[in-house]
Amino acid sequence: MYVAVTGGAGFLGSHLCEALLGRGDRVLCLDNLSTGRLENLEVFFRSPRFEFREIDIADPAAMNVDRWAPDQVDVVVHLASPASPPDYQMMPLQTLAVGSRGTENALRLAARDGARFVLASTSEVYGDPAVHPQRETYWGNVNPIGPRSVYDEAKRFAEALTMAYHRSSGLDIGILRIFNTYGPRMRPQDGRVVSTFIAQALDGDPLTIYGDGTQTRSFCYVDDLVRGLVAMVDRTVTGPVNLGNPVEWTVTRLARAVLRLTGSRSAVEYRPLPIDDPTRRQPDIAVARSELGWEPAIGIDDGLRRTVEWFLSRRDESPRTDRP
C-alpha cells in the first residue's frame, strides 16, 4: 500500500511510519516540522519506500494536492496538528488552521484518489467530561472560548468535516479518538505530563504537579496505540473509535511511579491547575475491541520503564536542546 502520513515527523507519526515501512508499505511523510523533528525520521531515509516532503498542510497553496502528492495513494492518515497543550496554546491560529484547512486538504487528497482517510482525533473532543468513562456516544463538555478550545474545537470541526465528506461523497473514512499516549520520541520539553516528569526526575528538578494531583488520565504506550492506528488503516471501520489504555491514574500516582522508576530524589512542587484542565479521563474501549480487535497489551510500569530508558539513551547522545 502507498500511505500518506501528515504529521509523520512527530511522536505518533514517526512510530506509524516505522510500523508501515516495517511491513512493506510505501510511505509519503508530510510535515512542516513545527513540533516534529527530522531526527525522528533519520533511519527511514535509507528506505527506498520512504519519501518526505516538508509542507504546511494548512497552507492555502496545499489545496492543490497534485503539487505535494503526485502519485495515487491508497490511504491518508491525518495526524498533523500540535498536540501538547503548551504547543497548541503557543500556536493557536496554526492549530485551528491545521484542524480545519489542513484536514480539508488531506481529505481532498483522499477524495482525489478514492483513498481511505483516517483522522487522528482526540479524547479532548469530550472536554472536561460529565460522563465517565467516556464512550463514543458521549458528545462532550467543551468550553468553546477557553485556551484549550483552539485544539478541542479544531478536532471537533475536523470530525464534522470528515463525516461530511463521508456522507456527501461516500469517502471511506475512519475517526480515531486518541487518549493520552506516551513513549520514546516525545520531546523532553514538550510540556506533556509524562515527558515533563521523566525529564525533571532525571535532571533532579522538582516534579511540577498542576493542581492537587487528583485529576486523572489514562496513559497508553505508543506501541499499543500504533497497533490500533494500523488496524484502523487496514479496516473499513468508520467510527469514531476510542483508542487508549483504560487504566486510569491520578497525576500524583504518575509522579510517584516516575520517581520510583528513575530512582530520582526530586521533590514535588505544586503549581496552579491550568484553566479548563479536565478533571478525569478514561476511555471505554468496547468499540475498539469489537471493531478493531484491539486492546492495549503494555502496562504502564513497563511502558514508563521503556520510556525512561529511551530518555536516558538520548541524554547520552545529545545536550538538552529542544524546539519549539
Site string for ligand NAD, 53-92 (x = CB under 6 A): ---xxx--------------------xxxxx---------
In this chain, which of 59, 277, 291, 295 binds ligand UDP, going by CB under 6 A?
Answer: 277
* Residue 250 CB partners (closer than 8 Å, separation 6+): 213, 214, 215, 216
User: What residues from 50 to 109 belong to the interface with ligand UDP (CB under 6 A)?
Assistant: 84-85
- Asked if 226 interacts with ligand NAD (CB under 6 A), we say no
- Least spacing, CB of residue 310 vs ligand NAD, in Å: 15
- The residue (of 52 and 182) whose beta carbon lies closer to ligand UDP is 182
User: What residues from 37 to 56 belong to the interface with ligand NAD (CB under 6 A)?
Assistant: 56
- Least spacing, CB of residue 259 vs ligand UDP, in Å: 14
- Residue range at the interface with ligand UDP (CB under 6 A); choices 67-75, 137-145, 210-218, 223-231: 210-218
Tell me, yes or no, if 182 is annotated catalytic: no
- Asked if 208 interacts with ligand UDP (CB under 6 A), we say yes
How many angstroms separate the CA atoms of 301 and 258, rounded?
A: 9
- Asked if 106 interacts with ligand NAD (CB under 6 A), we say no
Residue among 196, 213, 214 at smallest CA distance from 205: 196
- Asked if 181 interacts with ligand NAD (CB under 6 A), we say yes
- Asked if 34 interacts with ligand NAD (CB under 6 A), we say yes
How many angstroms separate the CA atoms of 122 and 120, rounded?
A: 7
Q: Could you tell me the CA-to-CA distances from 174 to 4, 77, 162, 178 in Å, in that order?
A: 15, 9, 9, 12
Site string for ligand NAD, 4-23 (x = CB under 6 A): --xx-xxxxx----------
- The residue (of 138 and 210) whose beta carbon lies closer to ligand UDP is 210
Options 88, 151, 182, 221, the catalytic residue: 151
- Asked if 35 interacts with ligand UDP (CB under 6 A), we say no
- The residue (of 25 and 124) whose beta carbon lies closer to ligand UDP is 124
Interface with ligand NAD (CB under 6 A), residue total 28
- Asked if 217 interacts with ligand UDP (CB under 6 A), we say yes
Site string for ligand UDP, 172-191 (x = CB under 6 A): --------x-----------
Residue among 167, 158, 66 at smallest CA distance from 118: 158
Q: Could you tell me the CA-to-CA distances from 301 to 31, 69, 186, 244 in Å, in that order?
A: 32, 41, 17, 16
- Least spacing, CB of residue 298 vs ligand NAD, in Å: 15
Which residues are catalytically annotated? 151
* Contact residues: ligand UDP, CB under 6 A: 84-85, 180, 192-193, 196, 208-210, 215, 217, 251, 274, 277
